[in-house]
């Protein structure tokens, strides 16, 4: 996408505070000295067979970009691609109901949408939010010495694929994975606002390393992840050990070409898990080292048991190191 957009002059506007130049999670447009609009759009193919749960996950995934920018969602519009000749409209109704419930939980409102006929169902939201111009979080503004705090586990991509292939039980997916995917990132964002957040992003399709690289590129620093502290869903490593993977792993690995240094003790399966694409993943915060443990404690106390301090920024060439 970045190659296709090159040379179009999209970031040439005096009121555009955040455009496409640093691959941020959303665009930000200045309205007044105290108010800016945050705009994002996202849609996905079905993560699960249950249409209601799919709607919940898709909505949580779309809303997350607003919170990753430090904003609050206001309105959402449904983006529907649906095979009307193959599936009953009751399926679509359940998708929309699941999404509506999550948008309502987020304190926002669905104001409409658009639909097209497609061979495979796809669903997501276009979301508009608001933020104070002085309180925007970006993925490119972390500082040397900052710690990194992650709010959700990794490995959902391979577990969703494994479930489709009957290699991971749907019952386990419902019990161990879906609760995280349907958890909104809003409460984590609100808690983090009480800290000195220097930078933030959410971890989605490019995986922890891909989104980490975006942060490192913006800062001109090396991002160091501590492998032992990265939270993973139970069973995710086992799936990679069995040879299960995702379509995105190879592309995500290419993103890190010549910019990744891995500890020699990591196995191939452990390495593949680092490239795993996430759906409705957690927020990744960069903040002063002295505040990180307190933020983790606050997140855990709020019910985000998966939260942990997972790395830091240090001087060095732009890239990722996993120790």
- Quickly state the pLDDT bin for 166 (edges 50, 70, 90): very high
pTM: 0.94
3-state helix, strand, coil in the chain (%, to 5): 35, 25, 40
The two structure tokens encoding residue 150: 């992650």
Please report, rounded to a whole number, the percentage of residues in the chain having pLDDT higher than 70. 97
Supply the pLDDT for residue 109. Answer: 99
Per domain, the residue ranges of the chain are 2-135, 147-322
Per-residue confidence band for 9, with pLDDT thresholds at 50, 70 and 90: low
Q: Which CATH superfamily is domain 147-322 in?
A: PurM-like C-terminal domain (3.90.650.10)
Question: Are 108 and 125 contacting, i.e. CB atoms less than 8 angstroms apart?
Answer: no
The pLDDT assigned to 13 comes to: 82
Q: What is the pLDDT of residue 21?
A: 82
- Region 63-71: mean pLDDT is 98
pLDDT tens, 68-120? 999 999 999 999 999 999 999 999 999 999 999 999 999 999 999 999 999 99
Average pLDDT over residues 267-279: 98
Q: How confident is the model at residue 6 (pLDDT cuts 50, 70, 90)?
A: low
* The pLDDT of residue 245 is above 60: yes
27-32, strands of its sheet edge to edge: 16-18, 27-32, 35-44, 122-131, 72-82, 109-117
Q: What is the reported pLDDT for 19?
A: 87
Distance, C-alpha 13 to centroid of its chain: 27
Q: Which CATH number fits domain 2-135: 3.30.1300.10, 3.30.1330.10, 3.40.50.300, 3.40.50.720?
A: 3.30.1330.10
The pLDDT score that the predictor gives to residue 302 is: 97
Whether 147-322 and 2-135 are alike in CATH topology: the answer is no
Residue 59 — very low, low, confident or very high, per pLDDT cuts 50/70/90? very high
The pLDDT value given to residue 257: 87
Q: What is d(CA 177, CA 90) in angstroms, rounded to the nearest whole number?
A: 25
Specify the residue for token string 């032992």: 228
The confidence score (pLDDT) of residue 5 equals 60
The confidence score (pLDDT) of residue 11 equals 66
pLDDT (tens digit per residue) in 140-165: 999 999 999 999 999 999 999 999 99
Q: From start to end of the chain, where are the E strands?
A: 16-18, 27-32, 35-44, 72-82, 109-117, 122-131, 147-150, 199-202, 222-225, 260-262, 283-287, 308-314, 319-322
């Amino acid at each position: 996408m970045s190659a296709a957009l090159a040379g179009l002059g999209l970031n040439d506007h005096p009121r555009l505070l955040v455009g496409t130049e640093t691959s941020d999670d959303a665009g930000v447009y200045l309205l007044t000295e105290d108010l800016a609009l945050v705009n994002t759009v996202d849609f996905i193919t079905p993560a699960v067979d249950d249409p209601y749960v799919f709607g919940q996950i898709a909505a949580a995934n779309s809303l997350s970009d607003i919170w990753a920018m430090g904003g609050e969602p206001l309105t959402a519009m449904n983006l529907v691609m649906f095979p009307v000749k193959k599936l009953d409209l009751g399926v679509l109704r359940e998708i929309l109901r699941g999404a509506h419930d999550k948008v309502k939980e987020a304190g926002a409102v669905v104001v409409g949408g658009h639909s097209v006929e497609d061979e495979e169902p796809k669903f997501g939201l276009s979301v508009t939010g608001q933020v104070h111009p002085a309180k925007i979080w970006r993925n490119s503004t972390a500082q040397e010495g900052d710690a990194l705090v992650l709010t959700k586990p990794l490995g959902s991509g391979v577990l969703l694929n494994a479930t489709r292939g009957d290699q991971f039980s749907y019952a386990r997916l419902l019990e161990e994975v879906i609760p995280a995917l349907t958890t909104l990132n809003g409460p984590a964002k609100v808690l983090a606002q009480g800290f000195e957040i220097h930078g933030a992003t959410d971890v989605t399709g490019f995986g922890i390393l891909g989104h980490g690289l975006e942060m490192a590129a913006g800062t001109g620093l090396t991002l160091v992840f501590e492998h032992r502290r990265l939270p993973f869903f139970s069973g995710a490593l086992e799936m990679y050990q069995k040879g299960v993977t995702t379509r995105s792993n190879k592309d995500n690995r290419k993103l890190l070409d010549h910019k990744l240094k891995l500890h020699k003790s990591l196995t191939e399966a452990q390495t593949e898990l680092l490239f795993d694409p996430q759906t409705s993943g957690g927020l990744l915060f960069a903040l002063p080292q002295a505040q990180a443990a307190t933020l983790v404690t606050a997140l855990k106390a709020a019910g985000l048991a998966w939260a942990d301090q997972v790395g830091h920024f240090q001087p060095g060439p732009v890239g990722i190191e996993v120790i």
